[in-house]
Amino acid sequence: MCLTNEVGRLSEPVPDIERRPFGRSPQGKNRLIVGMLVACLVLGFGVLAEEVLEGDTTKFDLAIMSTLRGADQAYPIGPPWLQEAARDVTSIGSVVFLGFVLMAGVAYLLLVHKRALAIWMAVAVAGGELLGTILKLSFNRPRPEIPHVTRVFTASFPSGHAMLSAITFLTVGALLSHANQDFRLKVYFMALAVFLTLAVGVSRVYLAVHYPTDVLAGWCIGSGWAILCWMVALWFQEWPERRLKT
């Protein structure tokens, strides 16, 4: 009788989460989707870079930039207050301002006892700054010949303001949203990060310090870097739990 019961129990299906194919779990699906998104962003940057090097984007760039210029090519369209506002907006994508944002984000995470996230935020943003510098030196694209009212010191492709604002704002926004349980705060942080990133990029084209393709490339590589760093942060956070389960 006991032997019959044991055989019956052995014949019952045993749930085994480890037998599920890779990517079938919710976490696996999310990683796959995010991985594909990062790959698409990097591919988009590569396509833009190739087209820029071959000169195939010249007409597109000049058409948009000429539309944003008035009768006097030295000034963009719109009233003087709009031009001044654009200079104010573009300044929030500078290394100095983004450095302040980074320090504020790190300080906040330290105050809420998220030391590991604070360190990773600093590493991610600093790594993005290094990546942007390497890319600028590699492509060495000249700035637009259209007169502009702001001073520039580096090459044009990709846009450093667009790239660094995407890296900094999206990384800080993602990590701050992760540190909060309130869904409204999560949405607020990410929406604000996206809005600031877009605003900085548009201001660079409006002020004629960058071609539109410079900004698009900066958004692609900056967003890809930010998302990749975010996924690495989640992976490290889940690592102790996975070790306990094994």
User: 199-229: per-residue pLDDT in tens?
Assistant: 999 999 998 888 999 999 999 999 999 888 8
- Between 39 and 179, the more confident residue is 39
State which amino acid sits at residue 89: V
pLDDT above 90 (res 198): yes
Say how many CA atoms lie within 13 Å of 138 toward its Cβ: 11
CB < 8 Å & 24+ apart, contacts of 35-38 = 35/231, 37/227, 38/224, 38/227, 38/228, 38/231
User: For 120-171, how does the pLDDT look when each residue is reduced to its tens digit (9 = 90+)?
Assistant: 888 888 888 888 889 888 888 888 877 666 666 677 888 888 999 998 888 8
Share of the chain above pLDDT 70, in %: 79
H helical segments located in the chain: 2-11, 26-54, 58-67, 80-91, 95-111, 115-139, 160-178, 183-206, 212-245
Contact 152, 136 (CB under 8 A): no
What local confidence, expressed as pLDDT, does residue 115 receive?
A: 86
pLDDT above 70 (res 6): no
- Between 245 and 215, the more confident residue is 215
Residue 240: pLDDT band with limits 50, 70, 90: low
What local confidence, expressed as pLDDT, does residue 238 receive?
A: 64
Average pLDDT over residues 5-18: 43
